[in-house]
Amino acid sequence: MNIAAATIPFVDLTLQHQPIQTQIEQAIQAVVRQGDYVLGQALTEFELAFATACGAEHGIGVACGTDAIALGLQACGVGPGDEVILPANTFVATLIGVLRAGATPVLVDCELETGLMDLAAAAKAITPKTKVLLPVHLYGQMVSPRQLLDLADAHNLLIFEDAAQAHLAERDGYRAGSVGIAAAFSFYPSKNLGAVGDGGMVVTQDTSVAQTMRSLRNYGAPRKYFHTEYGTNSRLDTLQAAVLNVKLPHLAEWNRDRNQIAQYYDALLQPLHSMGLVPVTNQSSSGHVYHLYVLRVQDCPLTRQLIQEELSAQNIQTGIHYPIPCHLQPAFQNLGYKMGDFPQAEQLCQEILSLPMYPGLTPAQVERVVATLKGLLQAYPPAANTQLCTPVMAN
């Protein structure tokens, strides 16, 4: 095969799994032999190991990251009548989790440079009904813990972290999951720490929150056939936990690999900044775990769509995270938001383009991605493409 024509996938999980495939298979077989498929030993071990890695005392595995947000908020005493401040620039699971908890979501804008929640906008959105700040540690970078804690302390608010994209991320001396009363994680397969199916977890320092979470995920039963709360069935499978147990010891190394790949992207892309391709800003140095490597296509001779199509034609896969902000999604029109309410989130969603990023992505592959981008920009002179530069927002 011609190496230059080989596909560079957006995510390649085989590079992670191949070296530990035997261990994964043995861990699965151990669960099968033991037969404890639900709330089994491997889950208990993984809950403790992951919570410890996050700097928390308790971990409670659930079926998915969305459940981690919804049940986690409930376990923290959040419900009807409580307002939760969250960014418009996030995956809809964050918003769905707030709604499922029965709370009132209050969306705020994001920062253009990072995509993270604008804490100045969050401060202005606080009312007497506000109970929770829900920062989303987006793309693998944390919202500043120090600024979050200052804002929460000033208004006596809880911090509940959405860390679904930030496994072991660090900033200001804090690790994702250790800042607020609790944090939600996702183990969707493509995450930095991914299962072989859906999965999630809430980590917390609060013993009472942990006890309530264990009850809520298991039909509201603190013990079998004794139901004290209106719970649900949302338990991280023992088989998934066994796989995650095998992968967790490698996570720090995988994250370092991602950060180094991002640094190489940054260096190679520097000459293209003047041509409109600018990476989202890293304010966390080595603490950024780069779940995604995101470019902004701004003041560029080419539209994002054309760049994405041309990269695809060269067998380079890309993504957009996320093309429509939460407040403009049809499902949430009843919340009363409209176009123009969060202009920075609306602008960013028209600019962002995620490049291939995963442990094992080679320097040669990164070079090919950037060389292809450079070639595209050189092939399309600005004067010939002015008409392509105005984005159109979908209603």
CATH number among 3.40.50.720, 3.90.1150.10, 3.50.50.60, 3.30.200.210, domain 251-388: 3.90.1150.10
Q: What crossing angle do the helices spanning 304-313 and 363-379 adopt, rounded to 10°? A: 120
Q: Is the pLDDT of residue 2 over 50?
A: no
Q: Which two tokens stand for residue 108?
A: 């705020």
Structural contact between residues 151 and 125, judged by C-beta atoms closer than 8 angstroms = no
pLDDT in tens, 233-248: 999 999 999 999 999 9
Residues 6+ positions from 35 with CB-CB distance below 8 Å: none
What are the residue boundaries of the structural domains of the chain, listed by start? Answer: 14-250, 251-388
- What does the pLDDT average to over 108-125? 98
Task: Say whether 231 sits in a helix, a strand or coil.
Answer: coil
**Phi and psi angles of residue 86, each rounded to the nearest 5 degrees, phi first:** -145, 160
pLDDT in tens, 15-73: 999 999 999 999 999 999 999 999 999 999 999 999 999 999 999 999 999 999 999 99
Domain 14-250, architecture per CATH: 3-Layer(aba) Sandwich (3.40)
Task: Say whether 32 sits in a helix, a strand or coil.
Answer: helix
Q: What is the pLDDT of residue 118?
A: 98
pLDDT in tens, 300-329: 999 999 999 999 999 999 999 999 999 999
Alpha-carbon gap, residue 312 to 90, rounded angstroms: 25
Residue 226, Cβ density class (10 Å: 0-12 exposed, 13-18 middle, ≥19 buried):
exposed
Q: What is the pLDDT of residue 338?
A: 98
